[in-house]
Structures are given as structure tokens and as C-alpha cells.
């Protein structure tokens, strides 16, 4: 990695009058700060130390400027509301680019631009973009300081909202800076909201509207480990330690260096016998990922502790097992749909010291969003600052409204969450939102078949009543928007990792909480009851449960699914939950083959072999006297 290379061509408008303190022991960091200051022309340079005093001062400045609203200190202590422009409320995938040297390395699932061409365009946009505002230099660590899997970066930004959020989401400040020693690899992360506050003559620039999507760029340079983001203040586009570094750049780093960066939750489950197991889980959006990560199990004696809800990095440890960390320091969660009924742990986590973005404001100075309570308040100020009542006919909170909070406030946080070398992984789960076909839980036949399950991960966009398979939104390994290189090479990396781990590789399972009956009713209660599927997974790890071979994987014997105390649940529903209908699955196999073909010639032959094996087994099942294969209830 060549971090000494310039991000841009140097401009001739160097800011000689700026005092640029040389804070870093690594001269490459200092040189880069000088380079960006010369380009962006800020009013001053602030090296962020990450202290509480710094956070308090910056927060007070933002409240005074009206960019943060302090919430009622008695109802929501230490918490604030931020509102963004209506045109800047989510990740902009159409403006997100992988700028690899060769287009083929980006693959068909990413937008590509040539690095030199993109940097030339960005250089013109960044020239003077910070005029009239401070330039903040934020050293940060992804993972515990000094940890075996931890990586480091520096984000330069002109957004105080980003500085505060990075202090919640990463280990930022002097602690990280101390590890940026000469010779250490680090990631450059440059961000600007995209317009200067002053003209070159020093005059202020009034009534600036947020740039349109066409002026936004979220760009990644995997070979040189750089991120450059322009024109957006939204978290996923501006908190560059998150998806940009922790997934897109880190996945490329992991491919090159022999480790893994995954869009996964990370939990530890303790059985009634007191034995603890570590599970990771790849779940696309809207599939209950955060709820699962913060589960309150409904089976007596079981405990679930949270390590992470969004991103996992894994590396082979000295003992040959796969160790995992959550590289983040906080949660950047979707607020709508989160409530005490759906995720009481999240609600407890955000009672204090939280930044809320684009939620509604109550008359008594608290926050509200759809799904927080059964009934909406009679009056609110909505996410755009307008009066709102239940009769308004609009959402009070934006559907992608967020909360940002440190993980240390989570009441179910595992004591091992900052283990410097990570924790060994026992099982990997893949889960989507599937109204049909996919059973509640089943095990892969081996690592290669598990990779096939990950590569074919999808959620249905239509109701099951519209067809046996529905229209599938493909999201392999839950990484479709986040893999920083060719998806087929990413699949190959998974296969290589399994071969390297050998018999110490974690076992792989697939889960689905969302299967429905013919009337469109969910067959499984979900939420805290999902621990019953986890119990079967652990029983499999301990060789306490048998399985039944099916064309798609190893199904449970239904009597091994613990439904004791599950009020109102019909045991006969387990038959339907674990039904594998060959006719429906054969349709899906055909769709999957088309999907693999669309990825191109680089798809590993192993995955086509797995697909052929599933196809042949389904053909055989369809030709048998019964049209369905069920997991029978054991006497």
C-alpha cells in the first residue's frame, strides 16, 4: 500500500497563512494534511483529540448555530436532534464508485471509474470546498486499540456532525493517533459537504442549497486504500469509517491480506449449562438484523450478548480458528420500526447520549418515530421541521431516520466486545426475508455448500401469494452494495478461506424468520423466540441433534425444535415451516443459474458444481412419488 502517493494533483493556491500543526508521528499523515489544506482552503485546521471536552465544545457550537437541537435533559439526557436536507437522507448507490485500476476488478455489481479520471474531477470540486469553515482531522481506529485485527485511518472533514458521529462510531482521537506510527499502513478518508461558505474575496455565501445527487461522489480506491466523499452529509456517505472503510476498502484489504470484512452481526449465546458460543450472521436490510443482535431470548436459561450489529472482521488466529471483532465503537441504527415491543434492548441503549437524525420532535422535547409506540402523539414537529398530526398523511420521521450511540451503553453488550484478538467463531448464519421456500433453519452440507448458500442469499420483494418464489432481490452474503471488488472474486475468497481453515472452519447455517402460510400469515413468531432456532444450531454443534438430508441442506427433525411454552403456536405448523417443495425450488434454481451467469466468467466453478448438485437432487425429489419432502415429526 502506497499511502505516500498524493491524493490529488497539488494546486498552486497553497494556504501559506494557515497554521498547520504537525501532530502525527508519521510524516505521511502530516504531509497529507498539508496537501488537503492547500487544496480545500479551510479557515483553520483542528486536530481532533477525541476528548469529552472537545465533544462538549463542538456540540455547544452546533446548538448555538442551530444545526443541533438539544433534547429535554430530563427525558433524553445528553441527546440531540439533527436534521438533514431532504435531498441528503440515505446512501446514494448510483453515485458510489469503486475506482480500481482495471474495470474488471470492480465487477458487475459496482459502479466503476478510472482512478486518475475520478481524482481529476474530484480535485476541481474540492478546490476551495472548505473555504469559510474549519477542517477537522480525525484519526481513528477500527477495532480495539492495538488489536490483532484492528486497522487505522484518518478522516479529514469539514462537518462537525461527522466529527461528533465518528467519536461515537469509532475509537477516534489521540488514542488512535498514537498508533499511526511511521511505516504503519493507514487509510486516507477525505470528506467535504461540498460547498464553500465564503467566496475567494471573503464574502459570505448565503442561502446555499444542498448539492443534487448528480454532484455527490462516494469514491473508493482499493489499490491505494483511499476514500473520497463529496457532497453528502448523510452518515453512510460521510462517516467514512463505516461502510466505506469497514466494508468496501476493508473487503479489498482482506482479499489481498488473507482476512475477511463482512456485513454481519456478532453475538455470543450462553446455554443453560453455562457454555458460550459465538455466532455471526449476514442479513440484508429489513430482515431483523439488529433485533437479532440485541435479542432478549424467550427460552429460560438462555442468554444472548451483543458484540456488534452491523460489521464483522475475521482473521485466522494462531490456534487455526477464525477469530472475529466488531470494528465499530457504536451503533448507527434505523429508528423507524424500533420500539419496546420489537427491540427493547435498542430502546434502552438510546435513552441517553444519543444523536438522532431526521426523527420527529415531541412537544416536550423528546423524539418519536413510526413504530416507537402503538399510537402517535397528537402533535409533533416532523423531520423537516413542520407541524405534524396523525391526520397529516405523511411520515413524521423519515423512513431512514437514524440514531447514533456508543455500544458501551447497550445493556446486553458482551464483556468480550473489546477482546484485542477477537473471539473464535462457532457458527455463521445467513438470513433473508423469504415468505416461501426457505425453512426456518437448516445447516449447510459443508463449507463449500455454505458458500453457495451465501452467494444465493436473497429476499423477496413480493408477497408469497403472487407466486411460489416471488421476485428475488439478490444480496449475496448481504454484501451486494458493499463488496469493494469483483463479486465473483469475493466468493472465491470465501472458498479459499474455508480451505485454509480446514476442519476448524465454523459451521454454516441458513435461517428465515419470515415464512408465511397460504393466507399470508407468518408461520413463526420471531423476535425473542428465534432463540429456539439458535438452540437447534447449538445442539448441532454439540452433536445433540440429528438432521434430515434434503436437496437444499440438512433440515432439523421437527421434534428437535423446542416449542415448549410457545403459547398459541400450532406444532403442526412446523411441518409447513420445514417443507421443501421441489417444484418451487426448481424454479428458484433456474433463477439462480441466470444470476450466476450475470456475474460473469469469474464465478468459481465450485459454486456451479454446488448448484448442479442441488438441481439434480430436486429433480430426483420431483420425480419421486411424493411431491414434497418434509422433515417428519419424530415419535
| 527 is known to lie in a ligand binding site | yes
Cα-based distances in Å from 569 to 256, 379, 514: 49, 39, 15
Q: Is 303 annotated as a binding residue?
A: no
Q: Binding residue per annotation — 285?
A: yes
Q: Please name each of the domains of the chain with its CATH number.
A: 27-66+92-258 (3.40.449.10), 262-328+419-623 (3.90.228.20), 330-409 (2.170.8.10)
Confirm or deny that 91 is annotated as ligand binding: yes
pLDDT digits (tens, 9 = 90+) for 394-443: 999 999 999 999 999 999 999 999 999 999 999 999 999 999 999 999 99
pLDDT category at 468 given cuts 50, 70, 90 is very low
Residue range 201-230: mean pLDDT, rounded: 79
Q: What is the pTM of this model?
A: 0.94
Q: Provide the residue count of the chain.
A: 635
Distances (CA, A) of 626 to 214, 296, 581, 583, 621: 56, 40, 10, 11, 8
In eight-state DSSP terms, residue 476 is: G
Instruction: Take residue 146 and report the three cell numbers written for it.
Output: 492495538
Asked whether residue 95 is marked as a ligand-binding residue, the answer is no
The chain-wide mean pLDDT, for the chain, equals: 92
Q: What is the pLDDT of residue 7?
A: 55
Q: Among 204-208, 340-344, 434-438, name the one with the lowest average pLDDT.
A: 204-208
pLDDT at 202: 62
Are 552 and 584 spatial neighbours (Cβ–Cβ below 8 Å)? no
242 is in an annotated binding site: no
Distance, CA of 113 to CA of 92 (rounded, Å)? 16
Let me know: does 517 contact 576? Beta carbons within 8 Å.
yes
pLDDT tens by residue, 513-572? 999 999 999 999 999 999 999 999 999 999 999 999 999 999 999 999 999 999 989 999
Tens digits of residue pLDDT in 249-299: 999 999 999 999 999 999 999 999 999 999 999 999 878 899 999 999 999
Is 528 part of any known ligand binding site?
A: yes
Q: Both ends of the chain: CA-CA distance in Å?
A: 61
| Half-sphere CA count of 410, side-chain side, radius 13 A | 32
Query: Is residue 384 over pLDDT 50?
Result: yes
Burial class (CB in 10 A: 0-12, 13-18, 19+), 209: exposed
Residue whose C-alpha is closest to residue 270's, from 170, 414, 156, 366 = 414
530 appears as a binding residue in the annotation:
yes
Question: Please, which pLDDT band fits residue 319 given cuts at 50, 70 and 90?
Answer: very high
243 marked as binding residue: yes
Q: What digits encode the pLDDT tens for the residues 41-89?
A: 999 999 999 999 999 999 999 999 999 999 999 999 999 999 998 888 8
Residue 263 annotated in ligand binding: yes
Residue pointed to by grid coordinates 491480506: 257
**Rg of the chain over CA atoms, in angstroms?**
25
310 is in an annotated binding site: yes
CB atoms within 10 A of CB 458: 23
Mean of the pLDDT values across residues 622-633?
55
pLDDT band at 471 (very low <50, low <70, confident <90, very high): confident
Task: Inform me whether the pLDDT recorded for 3 exceeds 60.
Answer: no
Mean pLDDT of 141-163: 97
Give residue-wise pLDDT tens across range 496-519: 999 999 999 999 999 999 999 999
The CA distances from residue 26 to 46, 139, 178, 189, 222, in Å, are 17, 12, 9, 16, 21
Residue 466: pLDDT band (50, 70, 90) is very low
634 is in an annotated binding site: no
Question: Which has the closest alpha carbon to 32: 138, 188, 182?
Answer: 188
Q: Is 320 annotated as a binding residue?
A: no
Q: What percent of the chain has pLDDT above 90?
A: 85
Amino acid at each position: 500500500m502506497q499511502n505516500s502517493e498524493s491524493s490529488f494533483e497539488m494546486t498552486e493556491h497553497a494556504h501559506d497563512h494557515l497554521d498547520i500543526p504537525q501532530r502525527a508521528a508519521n510524516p505521511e499523515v502530516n504531509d497529507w494534511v498539508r496537501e488537503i489544506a492547500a487544496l480545500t482552503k479551510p479557515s483553520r485546521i483542528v486536530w481532533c483529540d477525541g476528548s469529552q471536552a472537545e465533544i462538549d465544545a463542538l456540540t455547544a457550537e452546533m446548538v448555538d448555530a442551530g444545526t443541533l437541537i438539544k433534547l429535554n435533559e430530563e427525558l433524553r439526557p445528553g441527546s440531540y436532534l439533527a436534521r438533514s436536507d431532504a435531498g441528503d437522507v440515505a446512501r446514494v448507490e448510483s453515485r458510489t464508485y469503486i475506482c480500481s485500476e482495471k474495470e474488471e476488478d470492480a465487477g458487475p455489481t459496482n459502479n466503476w471509474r478510472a482512478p486518475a479520471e475520478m481524482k481529476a474531477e474530484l480535485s476541481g470540486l474540492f478546490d476551495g470546498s472548505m473555504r469559510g469553515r474549519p477542517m477537522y482531522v480525525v484519526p481513528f481506529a477500527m477495532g480495539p486499540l492495538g488489536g490483532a485485527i484492528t486497522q487505522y485511518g484518518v478522516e479529514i472533514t469539514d462537518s462537525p456532525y461527522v466529527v461528533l458521529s465518528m467519536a461515537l462510531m469509532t475509537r477516534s482521537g489521540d488514542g488512535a493517533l498514537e498508533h499511526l506510527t511511521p511505516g504503519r499502513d493507514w487509510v486516507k478518508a477525505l470528506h467535504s459537504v461540498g460547498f464553500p461558505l465564503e467566496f475567494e474575496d471573503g464574502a459570505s455565501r448565503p442561502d446555499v442549497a444542498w448539492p443534487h445527487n448528480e454532484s455527490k461522489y462516494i469514491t473508493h480506491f482499493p489499490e491505494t486504500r483511499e476514500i473520497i466523499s463529496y457532497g453528502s452529509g448523510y452518515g453512510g456517505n460521510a462517516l467514512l469509517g463505516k461502510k466505506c472503510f469497514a466494508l468496501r476498502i476493508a473487503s479489498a484489504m482482506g482479499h489481498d491480506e488473507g482476512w475477511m470484512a463482512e456485513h454481519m452481526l456478532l453475538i455470543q449465546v450462553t446455554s443453560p449449562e453455562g457454555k458460550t458460543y459465538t455466532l455471526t450472521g449476514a442479513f440484508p436490510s429489513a430482515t431483523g438484523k439488529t433485533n437479532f443482535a440485541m435479542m432478549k431470548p424467550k427460552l429460560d436459561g438462555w442468554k444472548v450478548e451483543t458484540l456488534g450489529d452491523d460489521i464483522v472482521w475475521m482473521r485466522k488466529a494462531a490456534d487455526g480458528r477464525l477469530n472475529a471483532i466488531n470494528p465499530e465503537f457504536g451503533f448507527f441504527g434505523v429508528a423507524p420500526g424500533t420500539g419496546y415491543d420489537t427491540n427493547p434492548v435498542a430502546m434502552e441503549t438510546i435513552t441517553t447520549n444519543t444523536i438522532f437524525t431526521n426523527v420527529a420532535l415531541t412537544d416536550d422535547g423528546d423524539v418519536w418515530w413510526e413504530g416507537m409506540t402503538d399510537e402517535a402523539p397528537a402533535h409533533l414537529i416532523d423531520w423537516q421541521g413542520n407541524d405534524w398530526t396523525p391526520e397529516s398523511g405523511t411520515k413524521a420521521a423519515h423512513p431512514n431516520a437514524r440514531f447514533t450511540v456508543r455500544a458501551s451503553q447497550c445493556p446486553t453488550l458482551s464483556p468480550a466486545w473489546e477482546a484485542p484478538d477477537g473471539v473464535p467463531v462457532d457458527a455463521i448464519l445467513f438470513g433473508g426475508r423469504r415468505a416461501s421456500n426457505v425453512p426456518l433453519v437448516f445447516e449447510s452440507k459443508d463449507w463449500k455448500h455454505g458458500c453457495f448458500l451465501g452467494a444465493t442469499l436473497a429476499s423477496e420483494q413480493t408477497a408469497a401469494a403472487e407466486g411460489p418464489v416471488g421476485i428475488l432481490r439478490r444480496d449475496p452474503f448481504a454484501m451486494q452494495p458493499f463488496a469493494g471488488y469483483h463479486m465473483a472474486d469475493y466468493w472465491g475468497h470465501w472458498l479459499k478461506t474455508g480451505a485454509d481453515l480446514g476442519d476448524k472452519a465454523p459451521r454454516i447455517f441458513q435461517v428465515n424468520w419470515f415464512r408465511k402460510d397460504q393466507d399470508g400469515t407468518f408461520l413463526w413468531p420471531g423476535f425473542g423466540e428465534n432463540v429456539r432456532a439458535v438452540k437447534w444450531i447449538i445442539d448441532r454443534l454439540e452433536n445433540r441433534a440429528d438432521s434430515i438430508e434434503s436437496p437444499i441442506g440438512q433440515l432439523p427433525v421437527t421434534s428437535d425444535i423446542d416449542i415448549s411454552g410457545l403459547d398459541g403456536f400450532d406444532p403442526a405448523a412446523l411441518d409447513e415451516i420445514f417443507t421443501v417443495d421441489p417444484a418451487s425450488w426448481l424454479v428458484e434454481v433456474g433463477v439462480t443459474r441466470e444470476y450466476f451467469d450475470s456475474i460473469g466468467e469469474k464465478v468459481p466453478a465450485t459454486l456451479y458444481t454446488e448448484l448442479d448438485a442441488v438441481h439434480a437432487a430436486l429433480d430426483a425429489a420431483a420425480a419421486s412419488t411424493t411431491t414434497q419432502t418434509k422433515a417428519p415429526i419424530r415419535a
